[in-house]
Amino acid sequence: MGDAPALARSFASAWRATRPDAPADFLDLDEASLEAALVSLLAAARATWASVTIDPDAFIPYLAARIGTDVPLIHALSPRAGADLYLACGCAHGDAAALAAFDRALLRDVTAALARIDLGSTTLEDLRDRIRHRILIGESGALPRIAEYTGRGDLRGWLRVVAVREALGLLRKQKREERVHLELAHIDPSSGDPELARIEQLYREEFQSAFREALASLSPRERNLLRQHFQQGLGIDQLGELYNIHRATAARWLARARERLASGTRQRMRERLQVERGELDDILRLIQSRLDITLRSQA
């Protein structure tokens, strides 16, 4: 499609399709006026993001689906909102030039917003990369957050708010996980707890067998990661260089491998043991507390 009168018809068709119950008189511009507004908006967007080329066939329906009914249409189609939505459209569709433009022009705003948060043990770089992924890529098949931007307010302001909200959610989840890990790690037979020492003595053989089976069920890469980290002492940065991946990716790979090993060991212990629920819970907590020690000696 070119930039001819078809822009207005494409916009009107997409707008009505996404809002079948909207007021019939909202599209109060005649076709020529709507066309002129869209041509102007598209020209401004292309001028703002000169390195980004989005086909009108993709952009105009994207724009129409995000225009609300709370302001007159002529105001909703402002060049500023159009330019921000143009870049958002490219990012939502995975356009490489749009993603690069986002990183050049807007990623520093994410970094600045996150720098004001108490990050705890998380590095600013890691958190920024995770937030960027959620905003631009999405997770588990979900649409990226950038697709939620509707052009109301400037993109920079929207981005700062979303980045902070996403970061706080991730940090809360991380702190919960760290707290659970610390609680489990403190359960150690060497602490002098005679009951846990008895459990370790009784079920050591079952644990070792379950551990070996769970370890064997991992992929070769997962076993290598665990061996390199726990036996060879390679840190996240070294693993990242070894596998030619970002350190955040290396950390996720390692955490996933460790969790798969832990859950596999727990499952096999459940299948082997016929004990009361309370004792089984103690056994499983003990497994978690001893896992890293066993990894260092056997992985």
Orientation angle between helical segments 56-65 and 79-92, nearest 10 degrees:
110
- Render pLDDT for 4-58 as a digit per residue (tens, 0 to 9): 478 988 998 888 888 777 666 667 778 888 889 899 999 999 999 999 999 999 9
Confidence of residue 189 (pLDDT cuts 50, 70, 90): very low
Q: Looking at the predicted structure, is the pLDDT value of residue 180 above 50? A: no
Q: Looking at the predicted structure, is the pLDDT value of residue 284 above 70? A: no
Q: Looking at the predicted structure, is the pLDDT value of residue 61 above 90? A: yes
Average pLDDT of span 105-113 = 88
> What is the structure's pLDDT at 285?
62
**Percentage of residues in the chain having pLDDT higher than 90:** 21
Average the pLDDT over each of 105-119, 151-165, 196-210, 217-231 and give the range with the smallest value.
196-210
Closest C-alpha to 204, from 107, 287, 103: 287
> What is the structure's pLDDT at 55?
95
Average the pLDDT over each of 29-43, 188-202, 261-275 and give the range with the smallest value.
188-202
Q: Looking at the predicted structure, is the pLDDT value of residue 88 above 80? A: yes
Q: Where are the domains of the chain?
A: 1-99, 106-185, 189-298
CB contact set of 298 (below 8 Å; sequence gap of 6+): 211, 212, 215
Q: Are 35 and 7 in contact (CB under 8 A)?
A: yes
Average pLDDT of span 280-290 = 60
Confidence of residue 60 (pLDDT cuts 50, 70, 90): very high
Confidence of residue 2 (pLDDT cuts 50, 70, 90): very low
Q: Is the pTM of this model over 0.75?
A: no
Question: Pick the residue with more confidence: 283 or 238?
Answer: 238
- Render pLDDT for 198-230 as a digit per residue (tens, 0 to 9): 555 666 677 778 878 888 898 888 888 888 887
Average pLDDT of span 243-271 = 86
Q: Looking at the predicted structure, is the pLDDT value of residue 265 above 50? A: yes
Average pLDDT of span 85-108 = 94
Q: Looking at the predicted structure, is the pLDDT value of residue 149 above 50? A: yes
